[in-house]
A and B are shown apart, each in its own frame.
Chain A
Amino acid sequence: MDDLTLAGGFSDPAQQSAQAFRAVMSALARPGRIEAVRGAEPPAPLSPAAGVVLLTLCDPETPIHLTPSFDLPSLRQWIGFHAGAPIAGADECSFAIGPWDELLPLDRFPQGTSEYPDRSATLIVETPLLEARGATLRGPGIRDTAELSLPEIVAFQRNARAFPLGLDFIFTCGDRLAALPRSTEVA
Chain B
Amino acid sequence: MSDDYNFAYLDEQTKRMIRRAILKALAVPGYQVPFASREMPMPYGWGTGGVQVTAATLTPDDRLKVIDQGADDTTNAVSIRKFFERTAGVEVVTSTSEASIIQTRHRIPEEPLSDDQILVYQVPIPEPLRFLEPRESETRKMHALEEYGLMHVKLYEDIARHGHIATAYAYPVKVEGRYVMDPSPIPKFDNPKMEMAAIQLFGAGREQRIYALPPWTRVVSLDFEDHPFDPSKAEHPCALCGAADSYLDEVITDDQGGRMFVCSDTDYCESRRAAGHRGELAEDAA
Identify the A interface with B (CB < 8 A): 13-15, 17-19, 21-22, 24-26, 28-30, 56-59, 61-62, 94, 114-118, 120, 122, 139-143, 163-164, 168, 181-183
B-side interface mostly:
mixed
Of the listed residues B21, B27, B145, B215, the one surrounded by the most CB atoms of chain A closer than 10 A to its CB is: B27
- Residues of A near B34 (CB, < 8 A) are 116, 118
Chain A proximity of B221: nearest CB distance (Å): 17
In the bound complex, do residue B27 and residue A183 qualify as a contact, i.e. CB atoms below 8 Å apart?
A: yes
In the assembled complex, 18 residue pairs joining A and B whose CB atoms fall closer than 8 Å, in A order, are A14-B12, A18-B59, A18-B60, A19-B59, A29-B215, A30-B215, A56-B19, A57-B16, A59-B16, A140-B217, A141-B214, A143-B215, A143-B216, A164-B28, A168-B23, A181-B27, A181-B214, A183-B176
Given contacts A21-B57, A25-B57, is CB(A163)–CB(B23) below 8 Å? no
In the bound complex, do residue B199 and residue A163 qualify as a contact, i.e. CB atoms below 8 Å apart?
A: no
**What is the bound-complex CA distance between A14 and B8, given in angstroms?**
9
Interface size on B, residues (CB 8 A): 46
Residue-by-residue, is B18-31 near A (CB-CB < 8 Å gives 1, otherwise 0)?
01111111111101
**What is the bound-complex CA distance between A14 and B233, given in angstroms?**
44
**What is the bound-complex CA distance between A58 and B12, given in angstroms?**
11
Given contacts A24-B23, A115-B144, A118-B33, is CB(A141)–CB(B217) below 8 Å? yes
Chain B proximity of A120: nearest CB distance (Å): 8
Task: For the complex of A and B, list the 10 residue pairs with the smallest distance between their C-beta atoms, beginning with the closest.
Answer: A141-B214, A181-B27, A14-B7, A118-B24, A114-B144, A140-B217, A29-B214, A140-B214, A18-B59, A115-B144
In the bound complex, do residue B59 and residue A15 qualify as a contact, i.e. CB atoms below 8 Å apart?
A: yes
* B6 interface residue (CB < 8 Å to A): yes
- Residues of B near A57 (CB, < 8 A) are 16, 19-20, 23
Q: Kindly identify which residue among B20, B25, B31, B215 contacts A141, using a CB–CB cutoff of 8 Å.
A: B215
* B253 interface residue (CB < 8 Å to A): no
Identify the B interface with A (CB < 8 A): 6-8, 12-13, 15-17, 19-29, 31, 33-34, 56-61, 115, 140-141, 143-145, 176, 178-179, 197, 199, 212-218
- Residues of A near B17 (CB, < 8 A) are 61
Given contacts A29-B199, A142-B216, is CB(A62)–CB(B28) below 8 Å? no
- Residues of A near B31 (CB, < 8 A) are 117-118, 164
- Residues of B near A118 (CB, < 8 A) are 21, 24-25, 27-28, 31, 33-34
- Residues of A near B197 (CB, < 8 A) are 143
Q: Kindly identify which residue among B8, B13, B27 contacts A168, using a CB–CB cutoff of 8 Å.
A: B27
In the bound complex, do residue A56 and residue B29 qualify as a contact, i.e. CB atoms below 8 Å apart?
A: no
Of the listed residues B23, B143, B179, B213, the one surrounded by the most CB atoms of chain A closer than 10 A to its CB is: B23
Query: Considering only CB atoms, which chain B residue lies closest to A181 in the complex?
Result: B27
Query: Considering only CB atoms, which chain B residue lies closest to A119 in the complex?
Result: B24
In the bound complex, do residue B20 and residue A22 qualify as a contact, i.e. CB atoms below 8 Å apart?
A: no
**What is the bound-complex CA distance between A132 and B161, given in angstroms?**
54
**What is the bound-complex CA distance between A164 and B29, given in angstroms?**
9
- Residues of A near B179 (CB, < 8 A) are 164
**What is the bound-complex CA distance between A181 and B22, given in angstroms?**
12
Q: Kindly identify which residue among A18, A120, A140 contacts B213, using a CB–CB cutoff of 8 Å.
A: A140
**What is the bound-complex CA distance between A18 and B115, given in angstroms?**
19
